């Protein structure tokens, strides 16, 4: 049965909103690349650019959020379409949060000064966390595009490595020595690692939305409060 013009318009608008939402993940990758460069080179000027450029991600969030609300006001999506609409609302919020974490990373660098003491081991772990974080952002986008629940589930594997490195950064910061300047810098880097850990968590959350769209059931891939239930359907 051919679609009515109104139904076709709805499908077109929904598809465009998905493109805009997933395109914002590309913005996150760019912001993350810059934030990692800021950390690696203590580039205060680039840090200010990362902070200012977050307005683009915030603008995209508002654009998508308003578009979804308008679509809901004019249409009454059901079944699979309603799941996509609901998932996009969650995804764009996670995207906005990832952008904020990149800003937080950039804001931490100027606090340590232009030439702070550094520790190669700690920087190497943060660099690896950044690589994994970028991979997670790219993979969660691909999983949603393809409606690939298995690819979404695989996000947990990389996120577990980020979590391990985050704990290692914390321990290294504690053991780094007695020099006050070095310890202060290490505390800032510990917070950078925490930002990267949160980016990974948000990517996994987007993966959970992919599984929701595919199956119609929401489940947490890893449930810290009820580990005996994960993976599995969330309690209602």
Show me where the domains of the chain are located: 5-229
pLDDT number for residue 115: 67
The pLDDT averaged over each successive group of 10 residues in the chain (236 residues) is 72 94 97 95 91 96 95 79 93 97 92 72 95 98 97 96 96 87 90 97 97 90 55 38
| Cβ–Cβ under 8 Å, residues 107 and 51 | yes
Number of Cβ atoms within 10 Å of the Cβ of 82: 14
CATH number 1.20.58.220 is the correct assignment for the domain at 5-229:
yes
pTM assigned to the model: 0.89
d(CA 11, CA 102): 33
Please report the beta strands in the chain, taking only residues with DSSP state E, as ranges in sequence order: none
**Peptide bond preceding 231 in cis form (omega within 30 of 0):** yes
How many CA atoms does the CB half-sphere of 187 hold within 13 Å?
9
pLDDT number for residue 229: 47
Backbone angles phi, psi at 41, to 5 degrees: -115, 5
């Amino acid at each position: 049965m051919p679609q009515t013009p109104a139904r076709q318009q709805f499908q077109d608008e929904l598809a465009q909103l998905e493109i805009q939402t997933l395109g914002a993940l590309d913005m996150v990758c760019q912001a993350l690349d810059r934030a990692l460069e800021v950390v690696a080179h203590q580039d205060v000027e680039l840090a200010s650019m990362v902070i200012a450029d977050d307005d683009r991600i915030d603008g995209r969030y508002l654009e998508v959020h308003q578009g979804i609300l308008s679509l809901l006001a004019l249409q009454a999506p059901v079944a699979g379409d309603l799941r996509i609409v609901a998932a996009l609302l969650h995804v764009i919020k996670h995207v906005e949060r990832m952008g904020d974490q990149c800003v937080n990373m950039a804001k931490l660098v100027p606090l340590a000064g232009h030439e702070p003491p550094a520790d190669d081991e700690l920087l190497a772990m943060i660099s690896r966390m950044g690589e994994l974080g970028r991979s997670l952002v790219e993979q969660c986008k691909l999983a949603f595009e393809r409606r690939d629940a298995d690819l979404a589930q695989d996000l947990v594997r990389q996120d577990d490595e980020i979590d391990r490195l985050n704990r290692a950064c914390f321990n290294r910061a504690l053991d780094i020595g007695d020099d006050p300047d070095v310890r202060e810098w290490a505390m800032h880097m510990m917070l950078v690692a925490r930002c990267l850990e949160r980016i990974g968590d948000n990517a996994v959350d987007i993966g959970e939305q992919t599984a929701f769209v595919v199956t119609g059931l929401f489940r947490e891939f890893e449930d810290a409060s009820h580990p005996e239930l994960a993976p599995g359907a969330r309690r209602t």
